[in-house]
Amino acid sequence: MSFADMTNLSKDLRQKLGENFTLPALSTDATQFSSDGTIKSRFKTHDGHLIEGVLIPTTSRFTACVSSQIGCSLSCKFCATGYIDRKRNLEFDEIYDQVALINQQSEKTKGKKLSNIVFMGMGEPLLNYKNVLKSIERITSPDGMAMSPKRITVSTAGVAKGIRQLGDDKVKFKLALSLHAATDKKRHEIMPINDTNNIKSLIDALNYFYKQTGTQVTFEYILFKDFNDSPDDADELIKIYRQVPADLVNIIEYNPIDFARFQKPEEAKVEAFMEYLGKHRVNARLRRSRGKDIDAACGQLANKEIS
């Protein structure tokens, strides 16, 4: 909706309003509060679509996890969003408003501004390249939120061409690759995008990104019970880690969703996996789930009914 659409107002007034004001691109439709302090918001776009964004507070950080598309076309098997068809890309101002609204929420409920932003919500950011970059330009500009680009991470399921484009554009923000399986055979089973963007092409693209930007990348690796949690799997992961200038591997606790076959490994297996990586000098960190009681954790965003 724009002022021009408000035909119940006079033409003069519509024109004046359009020259002097902007309408918010999004409105908050519902909010849910987790017992761990995480807050999930559902936002409504001007054309009635719903997307979700999450505020994740810790003792030292206030992070917004934001969406870049309405639905997602990549159909990762473990992700609730992957079961929703992609409707359209979010416009840059819709992404920016999402961040601004979560920032307001952070100030109001936690008394702190956002310290970090991750593009890990609904959608594949590199398939909405222009809008994501334009939103980051605004977030980092003095007229926007003046946030340092080093506090922003774009996470991709593995679009090699987009990773190379980020290198060519010499971006200053951080990049994470959602690897989740360290052989093509296993990755193909859970992430169909691997059929057109195999691990070798991603390693090459990440090296190109590093050469162009000087920024090390982060790997994301969700542990799935009896699928990618053995020492052999850790060895494959280590092989990839050694071929890419990477500063960190985030090992993420899996949050089961209704329609996927995966489970979370037992605690002892998680600890053994972490220990194995540590022994091989991999800088790995275990990320515990946040907001799982409200379906706000990694891979759970699906516009489920919010009461």
126 binds ligand SF4 (CB under 6 A): no
181 binds ligand SF4 (CB under 6 A): no
Shortest distance, CB of residue 59 to ligand SF4, whole angstroms? 27
Provide CB contacts within 8 A for 119, sequence distance 6+: 66, 68, 125, 132, 152, 153, 154, 155
Of 38-46, 121-129, 247-255, 256-264, the segment contacting ligand SF4 by CB under 6 A is: 121-129
122 binds ligand SF4 (CB under 6 A): yes
Q: Residues 141 to 160: which contact ligand SF4 by CB under 6 A? A: 157
CA–CA distance from 239 to each of 206, 221, 255 (Å)? 15, 14, 26
Kindly state the number of chain residues that form the binding site for ligand SF4, as judged by CB under 6 A: 11
205 binds ligand SF4 (CB under 6 A): no
Which is the catalytic residue, given 19, 52, 91, 189?
52
Shortest distance, CB of residue 16 to ligand SF4, whole angstroms? 41
Beta carbon nearer to ligand SF4, 82 or 265: 82
Q: Is 298 a catalytic residue?
A: yes
Neighbour count for residue 121 (Cβ, 10 Å): 26
Beta carbon nearer to ligand SF4, 57 or 71: 71
274 binds ligand SF4 (CB under 6 A): no
81 binds ligand SF4 (CB under 6 A): yes
123 binds ligand SF4 (CB under 6 A): yes
d(CA 113, CA 134): 21
Shortest distance, CB of residue 146 to ligand SF4, whole angstroms? 28
Which is the catalytic residue, given 65, 72, 79, 298?
298
260 binds ligand SF4 (CB under 6 A): no
Of 22-30, 74-82, 91-99, 223-231, the segment contacting ligand SF4 by CB under 6 A is: 74-82
Q: Which residues bind ligand SF4 (CB under 6 A)?
A: 72, 74-76, 79, 81-82, 122-124, 157
Point out the residues that are catalytic.
52, 298
